[in-house]
Amino acid sequence: MYNHPMTAEQQSQLDESGYVVLSDFMPPSLLEELRAAMDAQLAREGERAGAEFKLEPNTQRLANVVDKGEVFRRVIAMPEILEFIAAVIPERFKLSSLNARSPHPQSDYVQPLHCDSGALPDARGNCVCNVIWLLDDFTEENGATRIVPGSHRWGQTPQQVLADPLAPHPREQLLLAKAGSVAVVNTHAWHGGTANRSGGLRRCLHAFYVRWDFPQQQFQRKLLSEETKAQLTPTLRELLAIDDEENARITLADPGRSGFLK
């Protein structure tokens, strides 16, 4: 298990490239527990898995994953992870959403390059960060995330300047790493999933954190069951903004960025 503080080299990579990979972050027991929990939930939800938030072609998704197992709540609040989030977002932050994603094997579906929530840094600095939990190897063949290093500093979204955000970018790099790794990504950087042309799975979790003045994509106070809320630690209640009236006001005022307000 990765259990040491962020190094100066990792900080530099986050600052310069916009992402860093923590290899072998998960012990085998945690990796297997996350895989089993994701697979079981996908089986329970069937073809409509993730539909309450977002469906993608040729892709399995889960949404509102905070409410779907203790192991998912455990990973979003790990101190080693929160240290890296704080290195990206300079102010108070919260979890905006927790989703799972698995592109279908032998598919040609590619995500367009994008910035999360279409957000750009402002005068206060960065406001978005995503943590990708790799439950399978990310390879050139199975749909590894592509990232354009340094693009978090360009002050433009791909949709503003690219003729075709689906097309390969000359500066993009693939996030290639082994299962059990974790990638921390400043998601002002241009990024997107590639096609899973392999015959195997490419499962991952996306834990999306935002600065406190941003709305939550998934309004946790409304979404979480009372049973789940009763199990939350003080740290999780803070991270999920369960008791915060200002978060409720911000999120409810911007339903376009919030997926669960119906």
Q: Answer whether residue 3 is part of any domain.
A: no
Q: Answer whether residue 173 is part of any domain.
A: yes
Find out whether 76 and 209 touch, Cβ atoms under 8 Å. Answer: no
Q: Answer whether residue 1 is part of any domain.
A: no
Residues with pLDDT less than 50, the chain: 258-262
pTM over 0.75: yes
pLDDT tens-digit map of 106-122: 999 999 999 999 999 99
Count of domains forming the chain: 1
Nearest to 117 by CA among 205, 14, 191: 191
Find out whether 19 and 183 touch, Cβ atoms under 8 Å. Answer: yes
Instruction: Return the CATH number at 249.
Output: 2.60.120.620
Q: Answer whether residue 2 is part of any domain.
A: no
For residue 236, the enclosing domain spans 8-257
Residue with tokens 């049973």: 227
pLDDT tens-digit map of 194-236: 999 999 999 999 999 999 999 999 999 999 999 999 999 999 9
Q: Answer whether residue 184 is part of any domain.
A: yes
Q: Answer whether residue 262 is part of any domain.
A: no
Find out whether 129 and 209 touch, Cβ atoms under 8 Å. Answer: yes
Quote the distance between the C-alpha of residue 179 and its chain's center. 16
